[in-house]
Amino acid sequence: MNIRDWTKKLANEMANSIKSLQSSDEILILDIGLFPWNGMIELSAFFTSDLQSAEVYEDDIASWPSYNFSANDNMEWPKVDLIASAMKSDYVIDTKSAEKYFHATANAAKSEIVQSAISKLNCSKGFVVNILHPDDPDKNYM
């Protein structure tokens, strides 16, 4: 699968998942987790109401109530299995391929279809989309 098709498929599935996100709360952060070495892609959301919980930490995405909201009950996102597998296969062959997937994910997030889905959310004034590198959280591809 070429990177253009990969990006388009990801954008479509991201938009569909974002559209299914139900909350009247303001969203502060949409995090797109990308793990090429595991073949995993996950969407997580952090809302203003999450700030009220003593058990939720803004810098600990796994603690968010809407962590990996794109997943099913088995913590899998079957609609992206094909592209996640392609990403992992590329990574196994060449670990430097990870960079192209981080950039492709950013392109998917900036696409018209994803931006349209985001525009329907109740976004806070400081709303951000993050694509952080798991090994270097200071590196944001957005």
Q: 48: domain range?
A: 3-140
Question: How many CB atoms lie under 10 A from the CB of residue 136?
Answer: 8
Comparing C-alpha atoms, which of 9, 8, 31 is closest to residue 18?
31
Give the mean pLDDT per block of 10 residues along the chain (142 residues).
96 96 91 96 95 86 93 84 96 95 98 97 96 90 94
Share of the chain above pLDDT 90, in %: 80
pLDDT of residue 118: 97
Q: Which residue has the tokens 């995405």?
A: 61
Give the tens place of pLDDT for each residue, 88-115.
999 999 999 999 999 999 999 999 999 9
Number of domains composing the chain: 1
